[in-house]
Chain A
Amino acid sequence: MAKHLTLQEAVAELIHDGDTVAMEGFTHLIPYAAAHEIIRQRITDLTLVRMTPDVIYDQLIGAGLVRKLIFSWGGNPGVGSLHRFRDAVENGWPRPLELDEHSHAGMANRYVAGASRLPFAVLRGYRGSDLPRRTDTVSTVACPFTGEELAAVAALHPDVTVIHAQQADTKGNVQLWGLTGVQKEAVLAADRSLVTVEEIVDDLELRPGGVIIPTWVIDAVAVVPGGAHPSYAAGYSVRDNDFYRSWDSISRDREAFTAWLEENVLSGRAVSR
């Protein structure tokens, strides 16, 4: 059963130095507030997993807390580069960043294998691509029925998965709706899970396309209204595209980034609006 904790308590209890952490949400419902709490608690040497590292991981990487990144597309959607990610990869600032790089289809299937407690997943993927040369988590396997050679991708098993959702009930059952991405798979692939939510309701009202994650596969629920900002929570907020655009100049310069982090995250005030 999920415990109802404050964000500070939940992060301190569930996420530790050296952990492999997946913070999912495909553009929608990205758990920014939890990432900022990780930064405030200086939890470090993390291996971060996310299909699209997005600005959330650019911030964690720039803060110097990340040892390795497992991902499939590392840009600022519709804007351009993730400059902290690039600076870490190209120049080792503030520390070198090891990469395990995939395609989206490969990453999605790695989560599926993890949730299914299988060692790997198969897909028709990576054919003719140089990607497999740079990772040891893609290989091939022959179909036992037809002999067709298929791509095999190693399962992902994060120590912790963190997601943001619209609602939890008092028992800690969670519902998310709108773009639900790969969150269910990411939670079920992990050993531990933390869900931040917009609000607690007495009873979850089933939504069209809603995904329910039952309380007994979640470790902690924390109420953080606006906890996805500058991403969004359908029904509660809209994507702050202006922030994503402004991130380009904030993050381009090491000093500007450091000042932003100090003022908006480390100063201790809640970053959610």
Chain B
Amino acid sequence: MTDSVEFSRDELMEVNAARALAGARSCFVGIGLPSTAANLARATVNPELVLIYESGTIGSKPNRLPLSIGDGELAETADAVVSVPEVFNYWLQGGRIDVGFLGAAQVDRYANINTTVVDRGPGRSEARLPGAGGAPEIAANCGEVLMVLRHSTRNFVKKIDFVTTLGHGSGPGDRAELGLPGAGPVAVITDLGILRPDDSTAELFLTEVHPGVTVEQVRAATGWELKVADEVVTTEPPTSQELTALRALKAAGRSTAV
């Protein structure tokens, strides 16, 4: 490391997620970590990035992190505000959006996503999660999908209990067979490193770890036998510019509770 700036695991995830948006023209943004990353990208690697929120805002330029996808600042700073049917039909299904950014409660080795229900074992009811939201069609129709979530065996599971949103199905060819126009998940960015689908098998494998993280740590936090690239790269530590921008966004989000 070239400087001694301290940073957290979450910040490593957020900074790397923002970097992944370099070069994209437009991004469909979910709330939470995806929104943090997309707004950080606008403040750092991609100032011209067009943010599209499912509440119908196109080209939002918030100066603070919104709590919900419908905060007023998203509409006030947008290039256009459209109806919800329009944002899904004309803009998302119309193939106008380069990158979809999704979180997940559970993800499997083919980057399929569960945000619906979790099996809690015999005699207990399913744990109820929020549900699909925009994710199934975001993953289908965006040019590609980035995923961002914290790494643990609770989230990275051998078998997801419900397929809310298809990633790569059960392997290569599934997306094409279903007629899904986008490339699907191309990277899963976590607080430990980055997984990417193998070109020939579509199975996620570890390509990068963050500074200070070992391959063994990532393996231990993954619920299946994680495959690992021949050469695992260590991601560049966050720069002071990235950290300053990230912390400013978060501080603004906290201080403006109204």
Binding site for B on A (CB under 8 A): 26-28, 51-52, 71-75, 77-79, 81-82, 85-86, 89-91, 101-105, 108-109, 111-112, 123-131, 148-149, 178-182, 184-185, 209, 211, 232, 234, 238-242, 244-245
Nearest residue (CB) in B for A71 is B131
In the complex, are the beta carbons of A77 and B128 less than 8 A apart? no
Q: Which chain B positions have C-beta within 8 A of A131?
A: 116, 132, 136, 164
Per the bound structure, the CA–CA distance linking A184 and B257 in Å amounts to 30
Q: Which chain A positions have C-beta within 8 A of B56?
A: 26, 179-181
B137 lies within 8 A of chain A by Cβ: yes
In the complex, are the beta carbons of B57 and A179 less than 8 A apart? yes
Q: Which chain B positions have C-beta within 8 A of A184?
A: 83
The smallest C-beta distance from A103 to any residue of chain B, in angstroms, reads 4
Per the bound structure, the CA–CA distance linking A253 and B183 in Å amounts to 43
B23 lies within 8 A of chain A by Cβ: no
Which residues of chain B in 70-116 are interfacial with respect to chain A, using CB atoms and an 8 Å cutoff? 70-72, 74-76, 80-81, 83-85, 88-89, 92-93, 112, 116
17 A-B pairs whose Cβ atoms sit less than 8 Å apart in the complex: A71-B131, A78-B68, A82-B130, A89-B128, A90-B127, A103-B136, A104-B54, A104-B133, A109-B88, A111-B85, A125-B136, A179-B75, A209-B81, A234-B75, A238-B72, A241-B68, A241-B71
Binding site for A on B (CB under 8 A): 31-32, 54-57, 66-72, 74-76, 80-81, 83-85, 88-89, 92-93, 112, 116, 125-128, 130-137, 140-141, 162-166, 169, 174-175, 178-181, 257-258
Given A129-B165, A244-B68, A103 contacting B135 (CB threshold 8 A): yes
Q: Which chain A positions have C-beta within 8 A of B136?
A: 103, 105, 125-129, 131
Please pick, from A52, A72, A123, A239, the residue contacting B93 in the complex, using a CB distance under 8 A: A123
The smallest C-beta distance from B121 to any residue of chain A, in angstroms, reads 13
The smallest C-beta distance from A248 to any residue of chain B, in angstroms, reads 12
Per the bound structure, the CA–CA distance linking A162 and B20 in Å amounts to 42
Q: Which chain A positions have C-beta within 8 A of B75?
A: 28, 178-179, 234
The smallest C-beta distance from A273 to any residue of chain B, in angstroms, reads 13
In the complex, are the beta carbons of A239 and B164 less than 8 A apart? no
Q: Which chain A positions have C-beta within 8 A of B83?
A: 180-182, 184-185, 211
Given A86-B128, A104-B134, A182-B85, A78 contacting B32 (CB threshold 8 A): yes
Given A26-B55, A128-B180, A108 contacting B88 (CB threshold 8 A): yes
The smallest C-beta distance from A102 to any residue of chain B, in angstroms, reads 7
Nearest residue (CB) in A for B114 is A130
Please pick, from A79, A129, A178, the residue contacting B72 in the complex, using a CB distance under 8 A: A178
Please pick, from B116, B141, B175, B257, the residue contacting A130 in the complex, using a CB distance under 8 A: B116
Nearest residue (CB) in B for A112 is B85
Per the bound structure, the CA–CA distance linking A137 and B70 in Å amounts to 27
In the complex, are the beta carbons of B133 and A103 less than 8 A apart? yes
Q: Which chain A positions have C-beta within 8 A of B126?
A: 90
Nearest residue (CB) in B for A234 is B72
